[in-house]
Structure 1
Amino acid sequence: MKLLIAIPAYNEEKIIQKNIMEICRFCISHMAQYDWSIVVADNNSTDLTQSIVKRVSQKLPRVIYMMVSQKGKGIAVRSAWLKNDADIYCFMDADLAVDLEALPRLIAAIADEHYDIACGSRYHKESRVKRTRLRKIISLGYRLILKIVFHLRVKDAPCGFKAINRKVWKEVLPKIKSNEWFFDSELIIIAEHYGFRIKEIPVAWEEKNEKGRKSRVNILPLSIEYIKKVLELKKRLSNKI
């Protein structure tokens, strides 16, 4: 069974080699039953991300470098998924905020339990989460908005740790419009709207703040953008997309 792991990246020279190697070591030890590969979808980085990943890919054939000229997490993940063939498509954020110990369970939910989507949930009772109080408050508010607007059952739509099967790849991915951070939520909202089976799994999640690495997330503008996207998607779903 072919497993593709997409890693969206933009100016990640501080962490990308270390984290790719960590994923590879983990997959060799714990994911041997899958024909796995890693696609680093580079959003046209201006630092050394490109050269670092290309150098790693020359030594490790399971690592693939892919340039995505348009910026945005959503377009990076979508491009990596659409341009590569697999049975299961997964993505995780480049900073590995989610501990890799959750990866086998994420993939098994699709491969063995036959769910359509599996996603990490920081609200699962078994999850261990380290994040700032501000982010906790904003996350709870966003979760409430999604529940009110879409009656969403999934508790953590924006968590950057997800896997999908080919049916979702074929039927849901073409309906997704967001090229940015809202991609995570849009995937879950549309899939649930159309009745796809979704399983949330527990994760160990920790905000990463490596020295010299700037956060890609500006909380206030992003929160406002999310609200706009929520309203736009609600309108689209009401019009049956």
Structure 2
Amino acid sequence: MQNIDKTIQKLPSLSVFFPAYNEEGNIEAVLNQALSVLPQVANKFEVIVVDDGSTDATLHFARKTAERYNAKNGESSGDADPLVRVIHQENKGYGGAVKRGLAEARFEWVFFSDADRQFDLSELKNFIQHTQTNDLVIGYRKNRAEGWKRRMLAVALKIWNKIFLGFPLRIKDIDCAFKLIHRRVLDEVLPLLSDGAMVSTELLFKAHRLGFAYRQIGVNHYERVEGSSTGSNPLVIAQAVIDTFSLRKKLTIEPTVVRLTNAFVHDIHDPWLGLRVFARWFRLQMS
């Protein structure tokens, strides 16, 4: 793990959240690290845990840790705006937990990462210097500490998104859970549709399409110490495929139909109607 640079420029305010599902062996350590790093990268901050219907003791350990830090900060977990908040919801999937975290975040910048201890949160310091000229700073795993199946899935996801969504291949690691996002981006891209693994794809696709500036920074990736990943679960993969078609319909097909319909209405009295509508359709496909 890296040591934080104490001379680093700080963000004015930062919300940090962790989607968590069955991370009883990790959640306390993740919160401990976050709360040791954040005072050095933001003037004002909050930490949120979104427990996505865990069936183990994740909720218990998250609440216990939150109470300890809130008490140290002269607060209680029942206050309106405590330092650490724990939100429990019925299981809605990874995307549902991310969406809840984004909705609950209150500050100018929002950062989220997974609660599995596979990232070094102190590497957030490398992101801060890029916030002056970018709306998003997104991580990519330099050395994925995963088996070949997960690495192959990542490559397949990248190609799949390019084919079905026209997503730019220059995004190095779409689903890397190490993202720093400005509030103005969220104001434009929310609400998100996906409740599954495609939530990051949807967020980045919308931000890219709207022209927001982003910077990609390499981060280290570590093997899991506790718990198990659900990313290679066949049901999760199947849901991601279904989500892709749903996103394609909502984000690409339906807007094109609306634009063509508007063109039709505008040109309804034009004798060159067919030719002009075809020309507009062709330009849309090429844009």
Specify the TM-score bucket, using the shorter chain as the normaliser. 0.7 to 0.9
**Aligned residue number for residue 224 of structure 1:** 238
**Aligned residue number for residue 261 of structure 2:** none
1:83 aligns with 2:104: yes
**Aligned residue number for residue 197 of structure 2:** 181
Tell me which structure has the larger Cα radius of gyration: 2
1:9 aligns with 2:9: no
Quote the Cα distance in structure 1 between the aligned partners of 2:175 and 2:69: 31
More strand by share: 1
Q: Match of 1:199, SS?
A: strand
Change (3 A) 1:148 1:207: farther
Assess if the C-alpha contact under 8 Å between 1:13 and 1:47 holds in 2: yes
Quote the Cα distance in structure 2 between the aligned partners of 1:48 and 1:22: 20
Assess if the C-alpha contact under 8 Å between 1:68 and 1:79 holds in 2: no
- Give the partner amino acid of 1:104: K
TM-score by length of 2: 0.74
Which protein has greater RCO, CA pairs closer than 8 Å, 6+ apart? 1
Change (3 A) 1:108 1:38: farther
1:157 aligns with 2:178: no
**Aligned residue number for residue 102 of structure 1:** 123
Alignment identity in percent?
Answer: 27
**Aligned residue number for residue 47 of structure 2:** 38
- Give the partner amino acid of 2:68: K
Question: Of 140, 145, 150, which aligns to 1:121?
Answer: 140
Quote the Cα distance in structure 2 between the aligned partners of 1:46 and 1:141: 31
Assess if the C-alpha contact under 8 Å between 2:167 and 2:205 holds in 1: no
Change (3 A) 1:134 1:44: closer
- The CA RMSD measured in Å over matched residues stands at 2.0
Quote the Cα distance in structure 1 between the aligned partners of 2:54 and 2:238: 26
**How much does 1:73 deviate?**
1.9
Name which of structure 1's ranges 36-45 and 69-78 shifts more when overlaid on structure 2: 69-78
Which aligned segments of 4 or more residues in structure 1 are displaced greater than 6 angstroms? none
Q: Match of 1:4, SS?
A: strand
Q: Match of 2:216, SS?
A: strand
Would you say how many aligned residue pairs link Structure 1 and Structure 2?
Answer: 230
Quote the Cα distance in structure 2 between the aligned partners of 1:84 and 1:133: 35
**How much does 1:209 deviate?**
4.6
**How much does 1:206 deviate?**
2.4
Name which of structure 1's ranges 161-170 and 127-136 shifts more when overlaid on structure 2: 127-136
TM-score by length of 1: 0.86
- Give the partner amino acid of 1:119: I
**Aligned residue number for residue 166 of structure 1:** 183
**How much does 1:236 deviate?**
1.6
Question: Of 63, 66, 69, which aligns to 1:60?
Answer: 69
Assess if the C-alpha contact under 8 Å between 1:6 and 1:91 holds in 2: yes
**How much does 1:46 deviate?**
2.6
| Consecutive unaligned residues in structure 2, runs of 5 or more | 1-11, 71-82, 257-287
Assess if the C-alpha contact under 8 Å between 1:102 and 1:202 holds in 2: no
